Amino acid sequence: MKLIGANHVSEQQLDQFLESVTSISKEALLKEGYVIIVDEEIKGCFTLLSLTEEVFWLKQLYIQPEIANNLLALIETILLMIKNMKAKKLYVHSHQPVLDIILDALQFEKAKEEVQVEQKPNLVGKWWEYDVS
């Protein structure tokens, strides 16, 4: 499994992946996103939206069902990646009980206050935060 900036893969490869994933914004993915490569194919993606210089929101995380068993390792890799970016905090919004269990296991905490994000749609679910150290 490799994480690569979405703007570093061919447009053809990205378009082919996005044909089956209509809920992902190509524009946002190219601007602040990453793709997950397994066996030379895009199997997932996510965007890391910078809220401040040291605070990020893991947004639009999507993985294909065949790599779902890699979700824990993927989130750990993202945490390492943002640690290398000198981040102090990562927020995740979850609306799935399975993700809540994984975030809890990774020592995320329920956010103490509502996360202020621009253009926030009506999000149903829970905000989680992780203090990067």
CATH number at residue 17: 3.40.630.30
Burial of 58-83, coded b for 16+ CB within 10 Å and e otherwise, reads bbbbebbeebeebeeebbebbbeebe
pTM for this structure?
A: 0.87
Range of the domain at 92: 2-131
Q: How many domains does the chain have?
A: 1
Task: Provide the pLDDT for residue 112.
Answer: 82
Task: Provide the pLDDT for residue 121.
Answer: 59
Task: Provide the pLDDT for residue 122.
Answer: 65
3-state class (DSSP) for residue 114: coil
Residues of the chain with pLDDT under 50: none
